[in-house]
């Protein structure tokens, strides 16, 4: 699976959009981009995933560049409850593959 690079930490003002970047320059054509987050010491929570096209759900939007070498997770109106560690993972959609979590980005939403 391709390696990802994320900034270690970011701040965002409450009510503003939080844009979390992820570089995955060695991604291959059959690898998906997944985003998870872990709030404090809870179990990680799935947010969104995509292959080529931009994706949106009730939690967030995922913007993937045309060359697929980077992506951005957007939380449109961040709240204090969005303070968490956000993990970007690229992974082949294949039976028998585990998910490898890197250090992620620690997002602090400030009042």
Residues that bind other proteins (CB under 8 A): 32, 34, 36, 38, 41-46, 49, 51, 91, 93, 95-104
- Could you tell me the smallest distance in angstroms from the CB atom of residue 45 to other proteins? 7
Closer CB to other proteins, 14 or 63, in the complex: 63
Q: What is residue 83's three-state secondary structure?
A: coil
Cβ neighbours for 11, distance < 8 A, ≥ 6 positions apart: 107, 108, 109, 110
Nearer to other proteins, 14 or 106 (CB): 106
> Cβ closer to other proteins: 29 or 111?
29
Beta carbon of residue 76, minimum distance to other proteins (angstroms, whole number): 22
Smallest gap from residue 51 Cβ to other proteins (A): 8
Cα-flanking dihedrals φ and ψ of residue 81, to 5°?
-70, -10
Cα separation values, 102 from 8, 16, 29, 111, Å: 10, 26, 21, 28
């Amino acid at each position: 699976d391709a390696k990802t690079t994320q900034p270690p930490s970011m701040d965002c003002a409450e009510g503003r959009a939080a844009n979390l970047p992820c570089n995955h320059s060695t991604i291959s054509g059959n690898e998906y981009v997944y985003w998870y987050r872990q709030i404090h010491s809870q179990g990680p929570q799935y947010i969104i995933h995509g292959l080529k096209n931009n994706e949106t759900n009730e939690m967030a939007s995922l913007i993937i560049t045309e060359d697929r070498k980077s992506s951005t997770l957007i939380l449109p109106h961040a709240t204090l409850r969005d303070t968490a560690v956000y993990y970007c993972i690229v992974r082949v959609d294949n039976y028998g593959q585990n998910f490898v979590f890197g250090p992620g980005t620690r997002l602090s939403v400030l009042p």
